Structure 1
Amino acid sequence: MIKQKNIIILIALLVLNLVLSPLLSLVSFTSPAYAQSASQPAPQPASEPDVPDEPLTAKSLRLGAIEEHTRVVVELTEAADYKLFTLSNPYRAVIDLPETIWDIPDTIQDKGLVSGIRFGPFKPGQGRIVVDLRGPVNVHKHFILPPSVAIKNYRLVIDFEPATIASFRQVKPTVSEKVSDTVSDKVAVTAPISKPAPSLAPQFTAPTGEFTPKPRPRKTRKIIVIDPGHGGVDPGATGARSREKDIVLAFSKELSRQLKSTRRYDVYMTRATDIYIPLRQRVQIARNRKADLFISIHADAIKKKNIRGLSVYTLSEKASDREAAALARKENQSDIIAGVDFGDQLPEVANILIDLAQRDTKNASVKFAESLISSARGKTVLLDRTHRFAGFRVLKAPDVPSVLVELGFITNRTDEKQLTSIKWRRTVASGMVDAIDNYFRQK
């Protein structure tokens, strides 16, 4: 009996377990503690903190010249809005950007119509690029290119072309233009150029107002402006195998290199490529730079092919001889050859403006000419009556001592061979550096 009872109790417990198990599970699933935790959202992974957008950055700058046009290309990290306008006295183009980091290596170089580029903050939230120009220009076109397969940055492209003073003054502020990536920013010759030291950052008033620069620090180096004659559409004199414009550019670059290597002079060239600069603008470049000395480099030509030798000219009310007068007339025709129209200025240009040349400037020019001749003696053949006088337009800066050097006669076979010789260029340029040193040492 007892055994049967135990079996019955065991069966009853099994049945009870089968009945109660689902109920217990339901109670457990809906327990307040679990229900509370189930109502809360599932934990989410910690989110990354917000990262602000990177500021606009200028990553590189290229400068190129082809024929008479000069192109400036600024690579930017984004397609920023910009404003472009031009100013005069001195000539320059201004590009206003949003606040910009100028992340460009320091390598200084000028090219074509551009003599330098500066960058600095203009006001809070705005950066300013200033393109120093050799003379009046027109902005031929400007636009922004999107990134391409080869170039990951946006490119601000500005093309300059030579202009007259009148057309330069007509340029008004213009704003951003964007074009498709089918347009190229390539130029014939490109080279990076630099940001200046912060102390050289430009200081401007509003574009429509007067520009009043802060007083410049007192200059410690003498400023030399070298003027390679002719260029572009004006080849100058032509020899059997060479052209004057090429000879004088090569010589001017060598003279500039040697002067800069002394670290005693700031040296500028009116042109560094094969472009044409009107005569008056060459003089104005020297005056705008507040030059201490202006040296115009040329090569002579004459029908008598046996004539050879270097000569130096300074400004005079009366030409020293008929040959000097004829040479001045020929050189002064350069603007006409290049198609420059002076309009009603021609009568003024035709006159010799010796009254504008102050006595001290004229005397200083003569003094430097004599120093040049002394240093050149023994380094190259000198023309008889080496120091001559004539009314060259490029010698008419009233406040800058100026000389015009005829390196030799491109029409003479021996002179032409020397004029194209690297060794000869270095030797004669070295003599000119000595003459410049002596000139300033005696002042």
Structure 2
Amino acid sequence: MTALAFVVICTVALFSTRGFAWGAQGDVLGVRFGADGDRTRVVIDLDKSTQGRVIDTGAAGRVTLALNGVAPGRGLNGGGSGLVRSYQVSASGGASRIELELARGSEIERRFLLPPGDGVAHYRYVVDLKAVGGAIAASRPAPRTTPAPRRAERPLIVIDAGHGGKDPGASGALTREKQVTLAAALVLKTELERTGRYRVRLTRADDTYVDLYRRVSIARQSDADLFISLHADAGSDPALRGASVYTLSEQGAGRAVREFTRTDNWHRELHLPGRDPSVDRILLDMTQRATQNRSAQFARVLLTHLEGSDHPLLRRSHRDAGLAVLLAPDVPAVLLEMGFITNPEDERLLTDERARRRLMKSVADGIDRYFREPTAPLMTASTDGAGQP
């Protein structure tokens, strides 16, 4: 099981058992949480629209909100998650009062109202909290939690040699893209296996054609911890040269979710409960966001190591796109353009055995550093509506 899969499973349990009491009556339907160590998202499900007002900002160990014009249901209180120790919903004049007792010093990062949509039939008032201090002494017993088990096996890296077989890719003066990507993939596999710290799988080990979506399926079915697709760029200007790294764009993330939810059993593929479509969709969005965060984290690490090895880089070397091989919602993935096969100097580096080994050694070092660093946050705050519950 990947670390990301474990996060999703823990989140499923969180949504299923904590902070998810449904009101017997009233306009507040329920309260849900999604959390990691530094951020917590609070989702308040509502029967109708509302305007929120902040009463307590968190300075006294409590965040309190008033939601105007909505009535609280009965029995809406319980344990929270992440930065929230517990919550309570009560009546306050013509409003519902939402009290969040904090487990750590926190502040409101943003809050917004979502109308019905994306398969969800009700309104959602969302509050994003971020940590700004240490633990706060509990005024009541905190709910017991189970510590996360440590992963026993080595991380699995899936290396994708771009193109192949009937698809030659771009052409240089001396070689074709499918040849240099396969040669690089074999070298990278050797470099990673030499460390003894990783398991490695190739999407192709010879000159065969593999469908783009099959490449993604290989990574997902293998329960991969990281997917890296190797390519060689091409351009109309022969002077253009340098490597770049692509991660999934926001538009691509939306496409990924649409592609993934086309089948009836998509929630089973992510081990989601399948009892409530809106909950499953929230969990899928959180998984997609976590994957994007980790992909971006690896891209930054990788580019740092490439730059440190004096390998030429494009001026804007971290790019994003909706590329098919980056669409897995639960496997961190990057596409590395190793250089321009249409540039004579880059083509020489891509076809030279020693230069290729140096380049792949830098990639392997980047993978090493990525797995030594703390994982990226589960959720990020944005203002463009991406990753909304």
For normalisation by structure 1, the TM-score amounts to 0.43
